[in-house]
Structure 1
Amino acid sequence: MKIAVVAANGRVGRLVVKEAVDRGNDVTAFVREDANDTVAQHVVKKDLFDLTTDDLKDFDVVIDAFGAWAPEALPLHVKSLMHLVDILKGADVRLLVVGGAGSLYVDSERKMRLVDTPDFPDEFKPLASAQVAQFDELEKNGDEVEWTYISPAADFQADGERTGECILAGDELTTNDRDESVISYADYALAMVDEAERTGTPDAHIREHLSVVRK
Protein backbone atom coordinates (compact mmCIF):
# COMPACT_ATOMS: atom_id res chain seq x y z
CA MET A 1 0.00 0.00 0.00
CA LYS A 2 0.99 3.62 -0.42
CA ILE A 3 0.91 5.11 3.07
CA ALA A 4 1.61 8.69 4.16
CA VAL A 5 2.48 9.37 7.79
CA VAL A 6 2.00 13.00 8.79
CA ALA A 7 4.09 14.27 11.72
CA ALA A 8 6.22 11.19 11.20
CA ASN A 9 9.15 12.29 13.36
CA GLY A 10 7.19 11.90 16.60
CA ARG A 11 7.67 8.81 18.75
CA VAL A 12 4.43 7.20 17.62
CA GLY A 13 4.91 8.32 14.03
CA ARG A 14 8.37 6.78 13.79
CA LEU A 15 7.10 3.43 15.02
CA VAL A 16 4.13 3.49 12.65
CA VAL A 17 6.51 4.16 9.77
CA LYS A 18 8.79 1.30 10.82
CA GLU A 19 5.90 -1.13 11.21
CA ALA A 20 4.51 -0.22 7.80
CA VAL A 21 7.90 -0.40 6.06
CA ASP A 22 8.75 -3.72 7.71
CA ARG A 23 5.59 -5.17 6.18
CA GLY A 24 6.57 -4.10 2.68
CA ASN A 25 4.39 -1.02 2.33
CA ASP A 26 5.53 2.05 0.39
CA VAL A 27 5.74 4.78 3.03
CA THR A 28 6.22 8.52 2.76
CA ALA A 29 7.10 10.46 5.90
CA PHE A 30 5.85 14.03 6.06
CA VAL A 31 8.05 16.02 8.43
CA ARG A 32 8.33 19.67 9.35
CA GLU A 33 12.03 19.70 10.18
CA ASP A 34 15.01 19.18 7.91
CA ALA A 35 15.91 16.04 9.83
CA ASN A 36 14.18 12.75 9.09
CA ASP A 37 14.22 10.31 12.01
CA THR A 38 12.20 7.62 10.22
CA VAL A 39 12.99 4.64 8.00
CA ALA A 40 10.45 5.71 5.36
CA GLN A 41 11.44 5.15 1.74
CA HIS A 42 10.35 8.70 0.87
CA VAL A 43 10.41 11.95 2.83
CA VAL A 44 8.57 15.22 2.22
CA LYS A 45 9.50 18.28 4.25
CA LYS A 46 6.33 20.30 4.61
CA ASP A 47 4.37 21.72 7.52
CA LEU A 48 1.07 19.94 8.13
CA PHE A 49 -0.86 23.19 7.72
CA ASP A 50 0.71 23.75 4.29
CA LEU A 51 -0.39 20.36 2.94
CA THR A 52 -2.83 20.38 0.03
CA THR A 53 -5.07 17.83 -1.64
CA ASP A 54 -2.44 17.36 -4.34
CA ASP A 55 0.11 16.35 -1.71
CA LEU A 56 -2.03 13.46 -0.43
CA LYS A 57 -4.45 12.41 -3.18
CA ASP A 58 -2.30 9.57 -4.53
CA PHE A 59 -1.99 7.68 -1.24
CA ASP A 60 -4.18 4.79 -0.14
CA VAL A 61 -3.96 5.83 3.50
CA VAL A 62 -2.92 8.95 5.39
CA ILE A 63 -2.01 8.42 9.04
CA ASP A 64 -2.22 11.52 11.22
CA ALA A 65 0.36 11.16 14.01
CA PHE A 66 0.24 14.81 15.10
CA GLY A 67 0.69 15.44 18.81
CA ALA A 68 1.22 18.55 20.93
CA TRP A 69 1.70 18.83 24.68
CA ALA A 70 2.50 22.49 25.42
CA PRO A 71 -0.62 24.25 26.76
CA GLU A 72 -0.58 26.91 24.06
CA ALA A 73 -0.39 24.24 21.33
CA LEU A 74 -3.23 22.00 22.51
CA PRO A 75 -5.86 23.66 20.25
CA LEU A 76 -3.79 22.49 17.28
CA HIS A 77 -5.18 18.97 17.77
CA VAL A 78 -8.52 20.14 16.42
CA LYS A 79 -7.09 22.60 13.92
CA SER A 80 -4.61 20.17 12.38
CA LEU A 81 -7.10 17.32 12.02
CA MET A 82 -9.74 19.58 10.49
CA HIS A 83 -7.17 20.79 7.97
CA LEU A 84 -6.54 17.21 6.90
CA VAL A 85 -10.27 16.53 6.75
CA ASP A 86 -10.81 19.57 4.56
CA ILE A 87 -8.13 18.66 2.03
CA LEU A 88 -9.19 15.00 1.88
CA LYS A 89 -12.89 15.64 1.26
CA GLY A 90 -13.87 13.90 -1.92
CA ALA A 91 -10.49 12.21 -2.31
CA ASP A 92 -10.30 8.42 -2.43
CA VAL A 93 -7.91 8.36 0.52
CA ARG A 94 -8.48 6.85 3.93
CA LEU A 95 -7.58 8.88 7.04
CA LEU A 96 -6.39 7.14 10.21
CA VAL A 97 -5.89 9.23 13.34
CA VAL A 98 -3.67 8.62 16.36
CA GLY A 99 -6.11 9.44 19.14
CA GLY A 100 -6.15 9.65 22.91
CA ALA A 101 -7.55 7.36 25.62
CA GLY A 102 -9.42 10.16 27.37
CA SER A 103 -12.13 10.10 24.72
CA LEU A 104 -13.08 6.49 25.48
CA TYR A 105 -16.32 5.84 27.34
CA VAL A 106 -16.31 3.97 30.64
CA ASP A 107 -19.99 3.01 30.58
CA SER A 108 -22.15 1.17 28.07
CA GLU A 109 -24.61 4.09 28.00
CA ARG A 110 -21.76 6.31 26.70
CA LYS A 111 -22.45 9.06 29.19
CA MET A 112 -19.02 9.29 30.84
CA ARG A 113 -15.62 9.41 29.24
CA LEU A 114 -12.37 8.37 30.85
CA VAL A 115 -11.17 11.98 31.11
CA ASP A 116 -14.23 12.81 33.25
CA THR A 117 -13.71 10.06 35.82
CA PRO A 118 -12.65 11.13 39.34
CA ASP A 119 -9.29 9.32 39.27
CA PHE A 120 -8.12 10.68 35.92
CA PRO A 121 -4.73 12.38 36.58
CA ASP A 122 -5.02 16.18 36.61
CA GLU A 123 -1.74 16.63 34.75
CA PHE A 124 -3.09 14.78 31.70
CA LYS A 125 -6.53 16.42 31.59
CA PRO A 126 -5.62 19.34 29.29
CA LEU A 127 -4.19 17.02 26.63
CA ALA A 128 -7.01 14.51 27.01
CA SER A 129 -9.62 17.25 26.75
CA ALA A 130 -7.99 18.57 23.58
CA GLN A 131 -8.14 15.10 22.06
CA VAL A 132 -11.78 14.70 23.07
CA ALA A 133 -12.53 17.95 21.26
CA GLN A 134 -10.55 16.63 18.30
CA PHE A 135 -12.61 13.46 18.06
CA ASP A 136 -15.93 15.26 18.53
CA GLU A 137 -15.07 17.67 15.72
CA LEU A 138 -14.07 14.77 13.47
CA GLU A 139 -17.29 12.90 14.17
CA LYS A 140 -19.35 16.03 13.49
CA ASN A 141 -17.59 17.16 10.31
CA GLY A 142 -16.03 14.03 8.82
CA ASP A 143 -18.92 12.72 6.74
CA GLU A 144 -17.06 13.17 3.46
CA VAL A 145 -13.89 11.39 4.59
CA GLU A 146 -13.27 7.70 5.29
CA TRP A 147 -11.72 8.15 8.72
CA THR A 148 -10.91 5.87 11.62
CA TYR A 149 -9.89 7.23 15.03
CA ILE A 150 -7.78 4.84 17.11
CA SER A 151 -7.31 5.42 20.84
CA PRO A 152 -4.64 3.66 22.88
CA ALA A 153 -5.29 2.00 26.22
CA ALA A 154 -5.27 4.15 29.37
CA ASP A 155 -1.64 3.29 30.12
CA PHE A 156 0.18 4.21 26.90
CA GLN A 157 3.79 3.12 27.36
CA ALA A 158 6.37 4.84 25.18
CA ASP A 159 9.12 2.32 25.90
CA GLY A 160 7.00 -0.79 26.30
CA GLU A 161 7.89 -3.93 24.38
CA ARG A 162 6.38 -5.02 21.11
CA THR A 163 4.48 -8.16 22.05
CA GLY A 164 2.84 -8.52 18.66
CA GLU A 165 -0.51 -9.29 20.27
CA CYS A 166 -3.29 -6.84 21.02
CA ILE A 167 -7.05 -6.62 21.34
CA LEU A 168 -8.98 -4.34 19.01
CA ALA A 169 -12.08 -2.88 20.63
CA GLY A 170 -14.57 -0.07 20.17
CA ASP A 171 -15.05 3.29 21.87
CA GLU A 172 -15.42 1.88 25.40
CA LEU A 173 -12.40 1.48 27.67
CA THR A 174 -11.43 -2.19 27.43
CA THR A 175 -9.20 -4.32 29.64
CA ASN A 176 -7.45 -7.61 29.00
CA ASP A 177 -7.79 -10.85 30.96
CA ARG A 178 -5.53 -9.41 33.66
CA ASP A 179 -7.80 -6.36 34.05
CA GLU A 180 -5.15 -4.13 32.47
CA SER A 181 -5.70 -1.22 30.14
CA VAL A 182 -2.18 -0.93 28.78
CA ILE A 183 -0.49 -0.80 25.37
CA SER A 184 3.03 0.00 24.22
CA TYR A 185 3.70 2.50 21.46
CA ALA A 186 5.12 -0.39 19.41
CA ASP A 187 2.00 -2.54 19.73
CA TYR A 188 -0.17 0.48 19.05
CA ALA A 189 1.76 1.01 15.81
CA LEU A 190 1.12 -2.63 14.94
CA ALA A 191 -2.63 -2.14 15.42
CA MET A 192 -2.56 1.07 13.39
CA VAL A 193 -0.90 -0.62 10.42
CA ASP A 194 -3.25 -3.61 10.75
CA GLU A 195 -6.14 -1.19 10.28
CA ALA A 196 -4.41 0.59 7.41
CA GLU A 197 -4.03 -2.74 5.62
CA ARG A 198 -7.78 -3.41 5.98
CA THR A 199 -8.41 -0.48 3.64
CA GLY A 200 -10.57 -1.51 0.71
CA THR A 201 -11.87 -4.64 2.47
CA PRO A 202 -15.19 -5.30 4.26
CA ASP A 203 -13.24 -5.46 7.55
CA ALA A 204 -12.20 -1.80 7.43
CA HIS A 205 -13.71 0.25 10.28
CA ILE A 206 -14.93 3.29 8.39
CA ARG A 207 -15.99 6.32 10.49
CA GLU A 208 -15.51 4.36 13.70
CA HIS A 209 -13.77 5.07 16.98
CA LEU A 210 -11.55 2.12 17.89
CA SER A 211 -9.29 1.33 20.82
CA VAL A 212 -6.46 -1.11 21.33
CA VAL A 213 -5.12 -2.87 24.43
CA ARG A 214 -2.35 -5.39 25.01
CA LYS A 215 -3.57 -8.98 24.96
Structure 2
Amino acid sequence: MKIAVIGANGKSGQLIVDELINRKIDTTAVVRQTNKTKAEKVIQKDIFDLTKEDLNGFDVVIDAFGVWEEDKLSQHVTTLQHLADKLSGEKTRLLVVGGAGSLYMDSDHDKQLMDTEGFPDMFKPLASNMKQGLDDIRKRKDVLWTYVSPAADFQAEGVRTGEYLLGGEEFTLNQSGVSQISYADYAIAMVDEALNGNHIQKRISVNSK
Protein backbone atom coordinates (compact mmCIF):
# COMPACT_ATOMS: atom_id res chain seq x y z
CA MET A 1 0.00 0.00 0.00
CA LYS A 2 0.96 3.63 -0.52
CA ILE A 3 -0.27 6.09 2.08
CA ALA A 4 0.06 9.87 2.32
CA VAL A 5 -0.25 11.75 5.61
CA ILE A 6 -1.31 15.39 5.28
CA GLY A 7 -0.28 17.61 8.19
CA ALA A 8 2.47 15.11 8.94
CA ASN A 9 4.52 17.62 10.95
CA GLY A 10 1.80 17.90 13.60
CA LYS A 11 1.81 15.83 16.78
CA SER A 12 -0.77 13.33 15.59
CA GLY A 13 0.62 13.35 12.07
CA GLN A 14 4.13 12.48 13.19
CA LEU A 15 2.93 9.56 15.29
CA ILE A 16 0.78 8.26 12.42
CA VAL A 17 3.83 8.44 10.14
CA ASP A 18 5.88 6.59 12.77
CA GLU A 19 3.24 3.86 13.04
CA LEU A 20 3.11 3.44 9.26
CA ILE A 21 6.89 3.27 8.92
CA ASN A 22 7.15 0.79 11.80
CA ARG A 23 4.79 -1.44 9.83
CA LYS A 24 6.94 -0.96 6.71
CA ILE A 25 4.19 0.84 4.79
CA ASP A 26 5.19 3.03 1.83
CA THR A 27 4.61 6.45 3.43
CA THR A 28 4.69 9.99 2.07
CA ALA A 29 4.63 12.98 4.40
CA VAL A 30 2.70 15.99 3.08
CA VAL A 31 3.97 19.10 4.84
CA ARG A 32 3.82 22.85 4.34
CA GLN A 33 7.27 23.49 5.77
CA THR A 34 10.47 21.47 6.20
CA ASN A 35 9.72 17.80 6.88
CA LYS A 36 10.09 16.86 10.57
CA THR A 37 8.97 13.25 10.21
CA LYS A 38 10.83 10.00 9.61
CA ALA A 39 9.30 9.67 6.15
CA GLU A 40 11.79 9.67 3.27
CA LYS A 41 9.14 10.57 0.70
CA VAL A 42 7.83 14.12 1.02
CA ILE A 43 5.40 16.46 -0.74
CA GLN A 44 6.05 20.01 0.45
CA LYS A 45 2.90 21.98 -0.34
CA ASP A 46 0.17 23.93 1.38
CA ILE A 47 -2.93 21.76 1.71
CA PHE A 48 -4.97 24.15 -0.45
CA ASP A 49 -2.41 23.79 -3.25
CA LEU A 50 -2.67 19.99 -3.43
CA THR A 51 -3.97 18.75 -6.78
CA LYS A 52 -5.55 15.54 -8.01
CA GLU A 53 -2.19 14.68 -9.52
CA ASP A 54 -0.43 15.09 -6.16
CA LEU A 55 -2.79 12.57 -4.57
CA ASN A 56 -2.93 10.20 -7.53
CA GLY A 57 -1.54 6.72 -6.86
CA PHE A 58 -2.10 6.63 -3.09
CA ASP A 59 -4.33 3.91 -1.67
CA VAL A 60 -5.13 6.06 1.36
CA VAL A 61 -4.76 9.72 2.22
CA ILE A 62 -4.80 10.48 5.95
CA ASP A 63 -5.85 14.04 6.80
CA ALA A 64 -4.12 15.06 10.04
CA PHE A 65 -4.48 18.78 9.38
CA GLY A 66 -5.11 20.90 12.44
CA VAL A 67 -5.13 24.57 13.43
CA TRP A 68 -5.88 26.18 16.78
CA GLU A 69 -5.90 29.92 16.05
CA GLU A 70 -9.48 31.19 16.33
CA ASP A 71 -9.38 33.07 13.02
CA LYS A 72 -8.30 29.92 11.19
CA LEU A 73 -10.66 27.34 12.72
CA SER A 74 -12.91 27.40 9.63
CA GLN A 75 -10.07 25.73 7.75
CA HIS A 76 -11.13 22.48 9.40
CA VAL A 77 -14.13 22.78 7.08
CA THR A 78 -12.53 24.23 3.96
CA THR A 79 -9.48 21.96 3.88
CA LEU A 80 -11.64 18.86 4.15
CA GLN A 81 -13.86 20.16 1.35
CA HIS A 82 -10.76 20.72 -0.77
CA LEU A 83 -9.44 17.20 -0.21
CA ALA A 84 -12.87 15.68 -0.86
CA ASP A 85 -13.07 17.56 -4.16
CA LYS A 86 -9.64 16.31 -5.21
CA LEU A 87 -10.52 12.71 -4.33
CA SER A 88 -14.04 12.78 -5.78
CA GLY A 89 -14.75 9.65 -7.76
CA GLU A 90 -11.35 8.14 -6.97
CA LYS A 91 -10.53 4.78 -5.40
CA THR A 92 -8.24 6.50 -2.92
CA ARG A 93 -9.71 6.44 0.59
CA LEU A 94 -9.71 9.58 2.75
CA LEU A 95 -9.26 9.10 6.50
CA VAL A 96 -9.75 12.11 8.76
CA VAL A 97 -8.28 12.83 12.19
CA GLY A 98 -11.50 14.13 13.70
CA GLY A 99 -12.75 15.58 16.95
CA ALA A 100 -14.64 14.19 19.93
CA GLY A 101 -17.07 17.09 20.38
CA SER A 102 -19.47 15.74 17.75
CA LEU A 103 -19.88 12.34 19.40
CA TYR A 104 -23.50 11.65 20.34
CA MET A 105 -24.50 11.24 23.97
CA ASP A 106 -27.34 8.76 23.40
CA SER A 107 -28.77 6.35 20.88
CA ASP A 108 -31.32 8.94 19.71
CA HIS A 109 -28.47 11.19 18.54
CA ASP A 110 -30.23 14.27 19.92
CA LYS A 111 -27.28 15.66 21.87
CA GLN A 112 -23.56 15.83 21.21
CA LEU A 113 -20.64 15.99 23.63
CA MET A 114 -19.97 19.64 22.76
CA ASP A 115 -23.51 20.48 23.94
CA THR A 116 -23.06 19.02 27.42
CA GLU A 117 -22.68 21.19 30.50
CA GLY A 118 -19.12 20.16 31.28
CA PHE A 119 -17.67 20.73 27.82
CA PRO A 120 -15.00 23.48 28.09
CA ASP A 121 -16.06 26.78 26.51
CA MET A 122 -12.58 27.33 25.11
CA PHE A 123 -12.89 24.24 22.91
CA LYS A 124 -16.39 24.93 21.59
CA PRO A 125 -15.34 26.98 18.52
CA LEU A 126 -12.90 24.24 17.46
CA ALA A 127 -15.47 21.50 18.09
CA SER A 128 -18.12 23.43 16.15
CA ASN A 129 -15.90 23.79 13.09
CA MET A 130 -14.80 20.16 13.20
CA LYS A 131 -18.47 19.14 13.51
CA GLN A 132 -19.26 21.19 10.41
CA GLY A 133 -16.48 19.42 8.55
CA LEU A 134 -17.98 16.06 9.53
CA ASP A 135 -21.50 17.16 8.58
CA ASP A 136 -20.24 18.19 5.14
CA ILE A 137 -18.22 15.04 4.45
CA ARG A 138 -21.23 12.89 5.39
CA LYS A 139 -22.98 14.29 2.30
CA ARG A 140 -20.22 13.14 -0.03
CA LYS A 141 -21.22 9.85 -1.62
CA ASP A 142 -18.47 10.41 -4.20
CA VAL A 143 -15.64 10.07 -1.67
CA LEU A 144 -14.47 6.96 0.22
CA TRP A 145 -14.12 8.75 3.56
CA THR A 146 -13.77 7.58 7.14
CA TYR A 147 -13.86 10.01 10.07
CA VAL A 148 -12.00 8.86 13.20
CA SER A 149 -12.95 10.63 16.44
CA PRO A 150 -10.67 10.30 19.46
CA ALA A 151 -11.87 10.00 23.03
CA ALA A 152 -12.74 13.19 24.93
CA ASP A 153 -9.35 13.34 26.65
CA PHE A 154 -6.96 13.20 23.69
CA GLN A 155 -3.50 12.99 25.26
CA ALA A 156 -0.61 14.23 23.14
CA GLU A 157 2.00 12.93 25.58
CA GLY A 158 0.10 9.80 26.60
CA VAL A 159 1.83 6.43 26.60
CA ARG A 160 1.53 3.89 23.81
CA THR A 161 -0.20 0.86 25.29
CA GLY A 162 -0.68 -0.88 21.95
CA GLU A 163 -4.40 -1.36 22.61
CA TYR A 164 -7.62 0.53 22.00
CA LEU A 165 -11.40 0.14 21.97
CA LEU A 166 -13.22 0.82 18.71
CA GLY A 167 -16.58 2.55 18.88
CA GLY A 168 -19.04 4.25 16.58
CA GLU A 169 -21.06 7.46 16.61
CA GLU A 170 -21.68 7.56 20.35
CA PHE A 171 -19.59 8.77 23.28
CA THR A 172 -18.35 5.84 25.35
CA LEU A 173 -16.41 5.21 28.54
CA ASN A 174 -13.82 2.48 28.96
CA GLN A 175 -13.72 -0.12 31.70
CA SER A 176 -12.17 2.46 34.05
CA GLY A 177 -15.08 4.82 33.44
CA VAL A 178 -13.12 7.39 31.43
CA SER A 179 -12.95 8.59 27.85
CA GLN A 180 -9.31 9.00 26.94
CA ILE A 181 -6.77 7.93 24.33
CA SER A 182 -3.14 8.76 23.72
CA TYR A 183 -2.08 10.13 20.36
CA ALA A 184 0.15 7.05 20.00
CA ASP A 185 -2.69 4.54 20.51
CA TYR A 186 -4.95 6.64 18.28
CA ALA A 187 -2.29 6.34 15.58
CA ILE A 188 -2.49 2.55 15.86
CA ALA A 189 -6.25 2.65 15.32
CA MET A 190 -5.89 5.04 12.39
CA VAL A 191 -3.34 2.83 10.65
CA ASP A 192 -5.45 -0.29 11.31
CA GLU A 193 -8.38 1.41 9.57
CA ALA A 194 -6.14 2.59 6.74
CA LEU A 195 -4.96 -0.97 6.10
CA ASN A 196 -8.31 -2.72 6.57
CA GLY A 197 -10.88 -0.22 5.24
CA ASN A 198 -13.68 -1.60 7.37
CA HIS A 199 -15.67 1.62 7.85
CA ILE A 200 -15.99 3.40 4.53
CA GLN A 201 -18.32 6.44 4.61
CA LYS A 202 -18.72 6.08 8.36
CA ARG A 203 -17.55 7.80 11.54
CA ILE A 204 -15.79 5.66 14.10
CA SER A 205 -14.38 6.52 17.52
CA VAL A 206 -11.43 5.32 19.57
CA ASN A 207 -11.06 4.94 23.33
CA SER A 208 -8.38 3.41 25.55
CA LYS A 209 -8.89 -0.02 27.05
Q: TM-score range by the shorter chain?
A: over 0.9
Distance 2:188 2:109 in 1: 27
| Per-residue CA distance 1:68-107 (angstroms, 9 max, x = gap) | 1101000000000000000001111000000000010011
Detail structure 1 runs of 4+ shifted over 6 Å in the superposition. none
Q: TM-score of the superposition, structure 2-length normalised?
A: 0.99
**Cα RMSD, aligned residues only:** 0.7
Task: Determine which of 199, 203, 209 is the counterpart of 1:205.
Answer: 199
SS in 2 for 1:149: strand
Contact 1:26 1:41 (8 Å CA) reproduced: no
SS at match of 1:86: helix
In the alignment, structure 1 residue 68 sits paired with structure 2 residue 62: no
Q: Which segments of 5 or more consecutive residues in structure 1 lack a partner in the other structure? A: none
Distance 2:60 2:116 in 1: 34
Shift of 1:41: 2.5
Alpha-carbon contact 1:105-1:113 (below 8 Å) kept: yes
Q: 1:83-162 maps to which residues of 2 (within 5 A)?
A: 83-140=82-139, 142-162=140-160
Report deviation, 1:57.
1.6
Paired AA for residue 98 in structure 1: V
Which residue of 2 is the match for residue 8 of structure 1? 8
Normalised to the residue count of structure 1, the TM-score between the two structures is 0.96
Residue type of the alignment partner of 1:67: G
Identity %: 56
Q: Residue 191 of structure 1 is aligned with which of 164, 189, 192?
A: 189
Measured after TM superposition, the shift of residue 54 of structure 1 is 0.7
- Structure 2 unpaired stretches of 5+: none
3-state DSSP class of the match of 1:103?
Answer: coil
1:168 aligns with 2:163: no
CA separation in 1, counterparts of 2:202 and 2:42? 29
- How do residues 35-74 of structure 1 correspond to structure 2 at under 5 angstroms? 35-74=34-73
